[in-house]
Amino acid sequence: MTKADPKLLSRLARIEGQVRGVIRMVEEERYCIDVLNQTQAIKAALSKVEAEVLKGHAAHCVAHAIKSGNARDQKQKFDELVELFSRYGK
């Protein structure tokens, strides 16, 4: 990964705040559906983070491997992506 993206860091900080909020909700024994709604929001926000990190990986790491002409590095990056997508499919 390249240097830290301020937008990504901001999004992660918001997610961190959401998780703290869910902890408080559980401690306060809030209504289950309210807690579940918040956990769904966290999952959606994390999915967006994953997508941004994946875009960055493709734009920087994979692109660098392709440009390098190094077949071993190219295969490694390709194998990483295949493994990642196989985990998403489960």
Interval 51-80: pLDDT, tens: 999 898 888 888 888 899 899 999 999 898
Contact criterion met (CB below 8 Å) for 18 and 49: no
Q: Which CATH class is domain 6-88?
A: mainly alpha
Instruction: Give domain limits for the chain.
Output: 6-88
CA dist list (Å): 71 to 7, 25, 50, 63: 33, 51, 27, 13
CA dist list (Å): 11 to 15, 17, 56, 71: 6, 10, 15, 35
pLDDT 10s digits, 8-53: 999 999 999 999 999 999 999 999 999 999 999 999 999 999 999 9
pTM: 0.79
